[in-house]
Structure 1
Amino acid sequence: MSDRDDKGRVATIFDVARLAGVSHQTVSRVLNDLPNVRPATRARVEQAIKQLRYVPSPAARALVTRRTRTLGLIVTGAPDYGPSSTALHFNEAARDARYSVITASMLETDAAVMRSAAELLVRQNVEAIVLIAAQRAALDALDGIELGVPLIAVASEDRGGMHRVWLDQYAGARLAVDHLVSLGHREIRHLGGPPNAMDAAERVRGWSAALAEHGLPAREPLLGDWTPGSGYVHGRVLARDAEMTAVFVSNDQMAIGVMHALAEAGLSVPDDVSIVGFDDIPEAAYVAPPLTTVRQDFDALGRAAMAGVLGVLGDDERLVPEPSVPDLIVRASTSAPSRDRVALTP
């Protein structure tokens, strides 16, 4: 906590719970001076409150008795395949657990709008809020806010004051690069997503680390906007790169655009250039050639978010599940580099 406190961050009930090694419900019991709290546990909580200089809100005091079986869900950014699929499976998992969900969706991650949405959900008496955050700004907007209910973030980056579930984007990117290296590729380019996208940043990091581990150069990545059109524009640039024999693309939609641009330039996939995408969207298996990609289990991610909710609401100190690693799905868009392309590589 010290690094974040030094920056003036206001402590929340969840910070107190984490420092004391108890659930937020136990902290609320102590705040309300309720029975059934062991003296040693009460002392740890009181010490944590003192250490963090925590000032409880009325909502935090009431947290222990609030049971409405209603959850809030905030989904930010464009309706892309990953976040939309995660939200769908979270709703299914909530229904299976006999919870209802109130959803707030927004294209922009304006801080004031985000906070207003969260406060509106709290006024609807939700027991917890799940945030599906594509951009860093979504976490920034709610970081350190005392909502009085647990906040579970579906996000690639960690924030100390939030519970979190995520898929390991870094490990998935390494799988893609390791596959290309195993085929014999040595000049592997990367088309990444937007700079403010947390998943994209983790995939760049995994691509760069894997290349470094194999002693290969990491050229400056190109950055797109997740759309096929963006992939097509950058694919035309990549088509002029005579040294490149493979491209790891940060999502399947952009990979499809890259493949179209390479075909227009007279280059064959995979004979001249191998392509690996990310996500395994339904169309990936049916493009020509079928796309090698990194499959993310969005069903499991949505259900992990609900498991995290049940963990914090059920006084379960395990809190949230461990992250899962995506799977590499090998199809026909990757092969060993052709001798002609290898000959061009110094």
Structure 2
Amino acid sequence: MSDERGPKSANIFDVARLAGVSHQTVSRVLNDLPNVRPATRARVEQAITQLRYSPSPAARALVTRRTRTIGLVTPGSADFGPTSIAMHFTVAARAERYSVDTVTSPEPDPASVRSAVETLLRQRVDAIVLVVTDVGVLEVVRGLDLSVPLVAAAATQRRHPHLVSIDQYRGARSAVRHLAELGHGRILHVAGPPRNPDALERVRGWRDELAARRLVAEEPRNGDWSAASGYALGRELDLGSGTAVFVGNDHMAIGLLSALRGRGLSVPEDISVVGFDDVPEAPYLMPPLTTVRQDFRALGELMMQKVLLAVEEPESLTEDTPIATHLIVRESARALG
């Protein structure tokens, strides 16, 4: 299918890169603010002319009314992924001299998230950022009449200029591909919560990689991301020698490893295990855990760049390719034979 959108218009970040300055400096030049050296101002103006950059009139009209505060809605759990995303986003926001007001949604369901968003709107934030952990949340948010931009971190097949994500699907496929290439023909999946977008994309990747290799996909078993749920499922799984398990996150894998030891099974001699996340403890487990690393820092920075564009240059927002994952090979999976 051909792309009929035409060439992409330059945005404030393009000007900053060409002029070799920060986007804040470009903003100061555009708004004729002081404390910009004449040579720097001339360089920025030259870049503006060269790129034929035209800032959004609506965004410029809002400059004096901004609070430089972003509302962040996080889930009411301490799971590694959402916590890491929130931390790195907050760091990226502070680097841009924005403060972050965080509201925790006690439950991941749409009603709780709607309430959190409404709370932040009353606080006059410049934008809202969501860390989405329930597939129903995005549909509810789309129906809200928001007065400020909203950016969401959510793994989904549907692309949107206001969505950012890490590529859960290809990360899952890389984990299953690794196990298959080690000779495993039976690869089970311990998945995350059934309504979690990341978990659903990892299940999809697991199924598709198995299908591509003409291997049977047995019904996945769902945990809740905790080591306790991984342990409980590890005690119940029907395992035979040479079986491999792709686990939806590292904490469930930690519980699974403990359950397998309790059953007298050795990893990787009897069972190969691959996790997802690359938590700090992963290299120090017995055995060190093969896993899929997510770049939460890159995601946090991308979220902040999306917010800045949504506030300053909304017409320049485009869909982003999900951030790539990396398979980290350690000792919890080995070749058969």
TM-score, normalization by structure 2: 0.78
Which residue number in structure 2 is paired with residue 252 of structure 1? Answer: 250
Listed as ranges, the gaps of 5+ residues in structure 1 are 1-17, 24-59, 340-346
Structure 1 contact 73–102 (Cα < 8 Å) conserved: yes
The percentage of aligned residue pairs carrying the same residue is: 53
Which residue identity does 1:242 align to in structure 2? G
SS at match of 1:282: coil
Question: What is the rounded CA distance, in whole Å, between the counterparts of 1:210 and 1:63 in structure 2?
Answer: 48
Question: What is the rounded CA distance, in whole Å, between the counterparts of 1:160 and 1:288 in structure 2?
Answer: 39
Which residue number in structure 2 is paired with residue 125 of structure 1? Answer: 124
Q: How does 1:196-211 map to 2 (within 5 A)?
A: 196-211=195-210
Which residue number in structure 1 is paired with residue 261 of structure 2? Answer: 263
Q: Flag the 1:283–1:271 CA change in 2: closer, same or farther, 3 A.
A: same
Which residue number in structure 1 is paired with residue 227 of structure 2? Answer: 228
Which residue number in structure 1 is paired with residue 183 of structure 2? Answer: 184
Q: Deviations over 1:161-204 (max 9, x none)?
A: 77100001000000001101111111111110111111111000
Identify which range, 86-95 or 130-139, moves more after superposition.
Answer: 130-139
User: Displacement of 1:320 after TM fit?
Assistant: 5.8
Structure 1 contact 232–259 (Cα < 8 Å) conserved: yes
Which residue identity does 2:154 align to in structure 1? A
Question: What is the rounded CA distance, in whole Å, between the counterparts of 1:292 and 1:142 in structure 2?
Answer: 36
Listed as ranges, the gaps of 5+ residues in structure 2 are 11-58
Q: Flag the 1:215–1:159 CA change in 2: closer, same or farther, 3 A.
A: closer
Q: Deviations over 1:263-297 (max 9, x none)?
A: 11111100111000000111111110000000011
Q: How does 1:7-86 map to 2 (within 5 A)?
A: 66-86=65-85
Which residue number in structure 2 is paired with residue 152 of structure 1? Answer: 151
Structure 1 contact 151–162 (Cα < 8 Å) conserved: no
SS at match of 2:146: coil
RMSD of aligned Cα (Å):
2.4
Question: What is the rounded CA distance, in whole Å, between the counterparts of 1:293 and 1:97 in structure 2?
Answer: 32
Structure 1 contact 169–199 (Cα < 8 Å) conserved: yes
User: Displacement of 1:250 after TM fit?
Assistant: 0.2
User: How many residues align structurally?
Assistant: 281
Counterpart of 1:292 (choices 290, 310, 320) is 290
Structure 2 contact 89–303 (Cα < 8 Å) conserved: yes
Structure 1 contact 153–162 (Cα < 8 Å) conserved: no
Structure 1 contact 311–320 (Cα < 8 Å) conserved: no
Question: What is the rounded CA distance, in whole Å, between the counterparts of 1:82 and 1:274 in structure 2?
Answer: 23
Which residue identity does 1:213 align to in structure 2? A
Which residue identity does 1:231 align to in structure 2? G
User: Displacement of 1:319 after TM fit?
Assistant: 4.1
Question: What is the rounded CA distance, in whole Å, between the counterparts of 1:140 and 1:268 in structure 2?
Answer: 44
User: Displacement of 1:251 after TM fit?
Assistant: 0.4
Q: Deviations over 1:15-45 (max 9, x none)?
A: xxx9xx999xxxxxxxxxxxxxxxxxxxxxx
Identify which range, 106-115 or 227-236, moves more after superposition.
Answer: 106-115
Which residue number in structure 1 is paired with residue 217 of structure 2? Answer: 218
Question: What is the rounded CA distance, in whole Å, between the counterparts of 1:167 and 1:305 in structure 2?
Answer: 11
User: Displacement of 1:318 after TM fit?
Assistant: 3.5
Q: Is the aligned partner of 1:305 residue 2:303?
A: yes
Q: Flag the 1:297–1:67 CA change in 2: closer, same or farther, 3 A.
A: same
Q: Deviations over 1:81-101 (max 9, x none)?
A: 111111011011001011111
Structure 2 contact 243–272 (Cα < 8 Å) conserved: yes
SS at match of 1:233: helix
Q: Flag the 1:126–1:319 CA change in 2: closer, same or farther, 3 A.
A: farther
Which residue identity does 1:332 align to in structure 2? E
Question: What is the rounded CA distance, in whole Å, between the counterparts of 2:280 and 2:180 in structure 1?
Answer: 26
TM-score, normalization by structure 1: 0.76
Which residue identity does 1:147 align to in structure 2? L
Which residue identity does 1:269 align to in structure 2? V
